Amino acid sequence: MIIFGTKGYLHQLAVLTLVCGRCGNPAAHTLRKRVTKFTLFFVPLFPFSTKYATQCTFCGAEQQTTAAQAEQLRQQAGGGQSAPGHGGGAGHTTGPQYGQAHGQHNPYQN
């Protein structure tokens, strides 16, 4: 019996202040990367889908973006450099998080 399936991973790349297209409020938007990987016997083997989106923290509206637009927004947020071994800088593009000193790794964040 072969057990296979998919598993999704969600990475927060940056937090930006943008004007929402739905509610019209200038609010924080999270830039997210969703990667879906093929699994075999519960072991993720390779990614087969990668999608980028921004989500308004005021109204919850989500807008899909292309990889090029996501990279441009990430650089605009000040995340031009990516930390090696951290998945392209996921979670490390907006500076130290709440309760986290600069240079320390947050064990609860991918």
Average pLDDT, the chain: 77
With contact defined as beta carbons under 8 Å apart, do 64 and 5 qualify?
Answer: no
Give the integer Cα–Cα distance in Å for 61 and 8: 20
Q: Residues 6 or more apart from 66 whose CB is under 8 A from it? A: 52
Return the residue matching tokens 């399936």: 5
With contact defined as beta carbons under 8 Å apart, do 65 and 33 qualify?
Answer: no
Q: Which H helix or E strand runs over 60?
A: none
Give the pLDDT confidence score for residue 80 in this predicted structure: 52
Q: pLDDT tens digits, residue range 19-67?
A: 988 888 899 999 999 999 999 998 999 999 999 999 999 999 999 999 9
Strands 26-40 and 62-65: unpaired
Alpha-helical runs (H) found in 3-102: 67-76
Is pTM beyond 0.85? Reply is no
Residue 69, phi then psi, degrees to nearest 5: -65, -40
